[in-house]
Amino acid sequence: MRLVLLIVGAMVATACGGKDQPAESPSNDTSSSTASSNDGSRRLSKSECEALASSIVDACNNRGNDRSAEADGWCSDMVAKNSGDGTWVSGDCVPHFRYMDRFCFEGAKNAHAMMTCDKTVDRVQ
């Protein structure tokens, strides 16, 4: 029985792999720009950082009873740097944050989860 399955599998693989498929050329540049915009390692644009900053400020301002010294300190820094002088966008987000980092923040349900995301950002590069 196994021999039959191996033979059938080999025949299917040969039949499928034996045909040369012409390479598809993109009909326009939007497909390549979409692919590059979804590249997980690309840096965030200034407008993407501004949107992320707004989400962080909202999460920090709407914490309700979720109080801790660590969250209070992180949130006070984030609010000051985002809604105050805006230094977080140009000084931290644009040079260091990647497209994949944004998904962590967007999936975070509260300030504590956002703090965890912030700790994973590679700021060495």
pTM for the predicted model, two decimal places: 0.67
pLDDT digits (tens, 9 = 90+) for 3-38: 444 454 444 444 444 444 444 444 444 444 455 677
Instruction: Write out pLDDT tens, residues 34-91.
Output: 556 778 789 999 999 999 999 999 998 888 777 788 888 999 999 999 876 678 999 9
CB under 8 Å to 68, separation ≥6 — which residues? Answer: 112
Name the residue among 51, 71, 69 with its Cα closest to residue 114. Answer: 71
**Residue 50 in contact with residue 89, Cβ under 8 Å?**
yes
User: Would residue 29 count as lying in a domain?
Assistant: no
In a domain, 77, yes or no: yes
Q: How far apart are CA 50 and CA 94, in angstroms?
A: 9
- From first CA to last CA, the distance across the chain in angstroms is 56
Is residue 116, in this structure, part of any structural domain at all? yes
* Amino acid 78: pLDDT: 92
Please count the helices (runs of H) and the strands (runs of E) in the chain.
8, 0
The parent domain of residue 105 ranges over 46-120
Quick check: 95 pLDDT over 50?
yes
Looking at the 3D structure of the chain, how many domains does it have?
1
